[in-house]
Amino acid sequence: MRAIENKIEIHFDGGCRPTNPGNKYGSFEVLLDGRQVFKASRMELGRGTNNEAEFDSLIAALRFVVNDLSVGGFDPKTYAVSVFTDSTIVANRLTRERARDKGEPAQRMAALAATCNSYLAMFGHWSCKWNGRSANVERFGH
């Protein structure tokens, strides 16, 4: 198998204020071959939980990347995407580890993860890497 040379990193974070559930917000940053190409900060995402905000931020980032590649005439299959998260729930759901789909909140998480996985399947390769909370605080301020 030939290595994919085009590398995209997606860093993202989401949360709620003033309580959880509450008003969701999120940020993401996209890097191409180690250089920042786009950053969205504190997007308003409606009402929900902090876990939903995490997924919504990743979905926004994936939509951005797929759309940007499409507009430029590039095939996502020629790119490897690394997703960096500080959310164990997001990491486990994306990689299908320890996911429990009982109850309405868990079913919402499963649906959000399925949306993310449908975008990730468009790429030649993808990986999900856990990143400590301090990295997101430094990167996004939240």
Q: Is 72 exposed, middle or buried (0-12, 13-18, 19+ CB in 10 A)?
A: exposed
Distance CA 62, CA 73 (A): 16
Residue 132, pLDDT score? 87
116-142 pLDDT, tens digit each: 999 999 999 999 999 889 999 899 988
User: Going from the N-terminus, what domains does the chain have, and what CATH number goes with each?
Assistant: 6-140 (3.30.420.10)
Element (H, E) at 119: helix 104-120
14-35 pLDDT, tens digit each: 999 999 999 999 999 999 999 9
Residue 58, pLDDT score? 98
Residue 76 has pLDDT above 80, yes or no: yes
Task: Give the predicted TM-score (pTM) of the model.
Answer: 0.93
Residue 98, pLDDT score? 56
Select from 80, 81, 91 the least CA-distant residue to 133: 91
